[in-house]
Amino acid sequence: MPTGVITFNLSLPEAKYPGVTALETLVSTLLARLQSAPGVESSAAVFGLPFAGEFGASTSFRRPGEADSADNGSAGMRIVTPDYFRTMKIPLVAGRLFNAHDDGAAAEVVLINERTAQRHFADRNPIGEQIHLGVSLTRGVRNGDKRIVGIVGNVKYGGLDVDAPAEIYLPYAQHQVDEFSIAVRAKGDPTGLAPTLRRVVASIDRDLPVAHLEPMTAVIGESIAERRFTMLMLVAFAGVAVALAAVGIYGVMGYLVGQRSQEIGVRLAIGASPRDVVRLVVRESAWLTAIGLGCGVVGSIGASRTIASLLFGVGPTDPATFAAVGLALALVALAASYLRARRAARIDPIETLRTD
């Protein structure tokens, strides 16, 4: 859940933090100070922050009894501290989360997400299973056998329009990497924590640069910036198109009613009331409008498929959108026919017949 979270990136120089102990000490100290800072609800370190492309990796793995081959499973790899799931509000589905006991002296463990469990362990309960990871990074992550201790909820990483991928989580205390993100959940507005976060980092290492300090909502926004711009352009052109359509419909309907001035005069001359004439014209215009809207809806459904990949949380055939635009154009058409019919009905029928 991105609301209320602010993040930043740290990259620790190997010359200054040469070993596992130095890395783990800095991370634990930083998180402890962040946790005690005013306005902070929780904090965590993560290698592989959702929607942020700076740090990330994937790994192949094989289940018990499987041989090492190209057909082995694969998943995104995230390295996290225990409070990551609380900070990001990722639910525990089964088993347990990481804790302080999952350190370098303990047996190596992993968490998997629901997608991994469904895709690769559909025939068995994965809790307690051993999997063999094939990842090999230059520093910090070891491959080999790990025991699955829990299943967590799915999280989208690559984009809002992409289903959550298979993911494997490793505890930072067992896999110390020197590049990672810090996620901090604020008790209030997360942007107000920015100065505090910089001060906390400087209190530990004033030479350590804080990069990409921004709310999680902004991180997600950046991931869809190009598509948002494209959608805004499409919306602008669509708005102009609807406005032009409304003007055109108003003019055409007014013209068609104006062409019936002689007919209206005859009807009035033989005893029809102005109200009857207006009702007749509007009713016939409504039928014509309905036919036009029906054709327009069919064409729009076909055209909307081309922008389906740009939409988030709404389908290309969103009923509310179609209803709103259709209603607006229908009102324009009926208003045009009503106004022109009422104007024609007020004219003396003798003058109308004499003119035409």
Contact between 5 and 155 (Cβ < 8 Å): no
Structure tokens given for 70: 């190209």
**Number of C-beta neighbours around residue 313 at 10 A:** 7
Contact between 157 and 164 (Cβ < 8 Å): yes
Q: Which pLDDT band, with edges at 50, 70 and 90, does 32 fall under?
A: very high
Structure tokens given for 297: 């809806």
Q: What is the pTM of this model?
A: 0.67
Strands 109-113 and 144-152: parallel
d(CA 216, CA 72): 33
d(CA 229, CA 146): 44
d(CA 264, CA 217): 61
Contact between 180 and 55 (Cβ < 8 Å): yes
Least confident window among 72-76, 265-269, 283-287, 303-307? 303-307
Q: Which pLDDT band, with edges at 50, 70 and 90, does 138 fall under?
A: very low
Higher-confidence residue of 32 and 70: namely 32
* Residue 187, pLDDT score: 87
Given a cut of 50, is residue 52 above it in pLDDT?
yes
Higher-confidence residue of 342 and 132: namely 132
* Residue 281, pLDDT score: 75
Query: What average pLDDT does this structure show over 70-82?
Result: 80
Give the model confidence (pLDDT) of 296-325 as tens digits: 777 776 666 666 555 555 556 667 777 777
Q: Which of 210, 224, 167, 200 is nearest to 2 (CA)?
A: 224
Higher-confidence residue of 75 and 250: namely 75
Q: Which of 214, 209, 198, 170 is nearest to 12 (CA)?
A: 209
* Residue 84, pLDDT score: 93
Give the model confidence (pLDDT) of 173-221 as tens digits: 998 888 899 999 988 888 888 899 999 999 998 888 888 888 887 777 6
Q: Which pLDDT band, with edges at 50, 70 and 90, does 3 fall under?
A: confident
Rg of the Cα atoms in the chain: 32
* Residue 87, pLDDT score: 93
The overall average pLDDT reported for the chain is 79
Contact between 213 and 194 (Cβ < 8 Å): yes
Q: Which of 216, 110, 248, 105 is nearest to 167 (CA)?
A: 110
**Number of C-beta neighbours around residue 129 at 10 A:** 17
The residue ranges of every structural domain in the chain are 5-222, 226-355
